[in-house]
Structure 1
Amino acid sequence: MAEDRLACRECHHVNDPDAQTCEHCGSSSLTEDWAGYVIVTQPEESQIAEEMNVAQAGAYALKVR
């Protein structure tokens, strides 16, 4: 379930609830306080990925507090 997962404050990647660091950028700044969820499958062709500065496919939080 997405609500249990942790979002990275640096890159917004959504990580497993037991993660200690972000799978994508390695940051240890993870939070449960996030909203919105987008899955990027082809970042090179995605306008949302471009606006979010996302270069890797994956799940991302739209708003991270």
Structure 2
Amino acid sequence: MAPRNKKSIKVCRNCHHVVDGESCVTCGSSNLSDDWGGYLYIVDPKNSDIAKKMNIDMPGRYALKVR
């Protein structure tokens, strides 16, 4: 599902995971940004070339670029 309102969605600056709360459930960081671009959903990280390139090992929602 694509984000409804990009401005209200926060992304972890460390792992690029889309965050629902105040900290990242993937890496535990609270270093979040609302300035990001590109949205992707990784379903099978073991067979995804993009996931390998971004060092993603868990399925989920991610941003391609985080500023």
On whether the aligned pair clears a TM of 0.5, the verdict is: yes
- Percent sequence identity over aligned pairs: 48
- 2:12 maps to which residue? 8
Residue 8 of structure 1 aligns to which amino acid in structure 2? Answer: C
Structure 1 stretches of at least 4 aligned residues deviating more than 6 Å after TM superposition: none
Query: 1:24 is paired with a residue of what secondary structure?
Result: coil
Structure 1 gap segments, 5+ residues each: none
State the TM-score, normalizing by the size of structure 2: 0.89
Aligned length: 63
Q: Trace 1:14-29 onto structure 2 (pairs within 5 A).
A: 14-16=18-20, 19-29=21-31
The answer to whether 1:59 aligns with 2:61 is yes
